[in-house]
Structure 1
Amino acid sequence: MTNLDWLKRAAERSTTEHGLMGQVFATYQTLEDCSANALADELGCDEQTLNMLALCRRPAGEAFAEQVKILCGRFGLESFALVNVLRQVEIMGPSDAGAANEAPPRMTALQLAARDRRNKKEEPSS
């Protein structure tokens, strides 16, 4: 097995690991119905770089901006493109409240609005 084969397999496994960029990328590709090559183009990198990035921890918390800056510097990415992917997955991606050792994610305004609308439809009319 060559290094590229190993890297590709590791990146594929990262798609199921909570907290890794691979999971973010898999969710984004599902949301946008795009290929890994299209995602790499959007981020301004090649697929090998995308695979290496997939093995990194997802930026989060108070150090989000600093973590994004480090990842972009390390892999030669534009921060706007990476933040766009991260935020879109955060807003539109499936919630992962059942993840082990994680607090339930806070609901976004969009999710709260959808929940409120659903609740109004379920209320019996007087």
Structure 2
Amino acid sequence: MLGSVFAWYRDLEDLSVQDFARRLGCTVETLYWVSLCRKPEGAAFSEHVNQIADHFGIDAFELSKVLRDMEATAALLATENSPLEPEARAVLMAALDREKNS
């Protein structure tokens, strides 16, 4: 679900719900509805991002950027030779685990 990705992103960027909603160009209420959507993945990623953005009236570019940033962060965490400090890596891994268990 997008809600877990959004929560992780907001934690990493230190954004309030209101600030994150503004970034996506929507209200907090709309953000909560978007959070219930499945996370776009695979070959239809762009199509699904555009469908979500069109349906809820949010910025497709910003949504895509957030999702790609989180994919890159997850990939970075998955590598054994991550350049992150052990403490930072542990915090991000915990956030990633939280996302997987949501």
Q: What's the TM-score, normalizing by structure 1?
A: 0.60
- Residues 55, 116 of structure 1: CA spacing in aligned structure 2 closer, same or farther, 3 A cutoff? closer
Offset of 1:87 from its aligned partner?
1.0
Which fold has the larger relative contact order, with Cα–Cα distance below 8 Å and residues 6 or more apart in sequence? 2
Q: TM-score, normalised by structure 2?
A: 0.73
Shift in alpha-carbon separation, 1:117–1:70, aligned structure 2, 3 A:
closer
Cα displacement string for residues 35-91 of structure 1 (whole angstroms, at most 9, x for unaligned residues): 110000000000000000000000001110110010011011121110111111111
Describe how 1:62-81 pairs up with structure 2 within 5 A.
Answer: 62-81=43-62
Q: How high is the sequence identity, in percent, across the aligned residues?
A: 39
Aligned residues between the structures: 84
Instruction: Give the unaligned 5+ runs of structure 1.
Output: 1-19, 96-106, 119-126
Q: Which residue is 1:36 aligned to?
A: 17
Larger Rg: 1
Q: Which amino acid letter does the alignment assign opposite residue 81 of structure 2?
A: R
Deviating above 3 A after TM superposition, structure 1's stretches of 4 or more consecutive aligned residues are none
Q: Which has the higher helix share?
A: 2
- In structure 2, distance between residues paired with 1:78 and 1:63: 18
RMSD: 2.1
For the pair 1:56 / 2:37, whether they are aligned, the reply is yes
Give, in whole Å, the separation in 2 of the partners of 1:71 and 1:57.
10
**How many angstroms apart in 1 are the aligned matches of 2:82 and 2:12?**
23
Mind listing any 5+ residue stretches in structure 2 that lack a counterpart? 85-102
